[in-house]
């Protein structure tokens, strides 16, 4: 599993929660109904199909 900064983690989970709230299929089995909680659980299970592109060599 890739290591994400807290900002990347927040962006990934937020984007996925928005997708779920707009009707995207849930990628895990869960009893939760809140899109944010579902997105967090998907992130913890490494099931979110979102990648992070980083600029190389910038500070």
The rounded distance, in Å, linking the Cα atoms of 29 and 20 is 14
pLDDT value of position 45: 95
pLDDT value of position 12: 96
CATH class of 6-44: alpha beta
* Per-domain boundaries in the chain: 6-44
Q: Are 13 and 19 in contact (CB under 8 A)?
A: no
pLDDT value of position 21: 97
pLDDT tens track for 9-33: 999 999 999 999 999 999 999 999 9
pLDDT value of position 2: 77
Q: What is the mean pLDDT of the chain?
A: 93
């Amino acid at each position: 599993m890739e290591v994400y900064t807290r900002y990347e983690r927040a962006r990934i989970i937020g984007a996925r929660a928005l997708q779920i709230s707009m009707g995207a299929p849930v990628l895990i089995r869960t009893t939760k109904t809140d899109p944010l909680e579902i997105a967090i659980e998907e992130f913890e299970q490494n099931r979110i199909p979102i990648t992070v592109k980083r600029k190389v060599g910038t500070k």
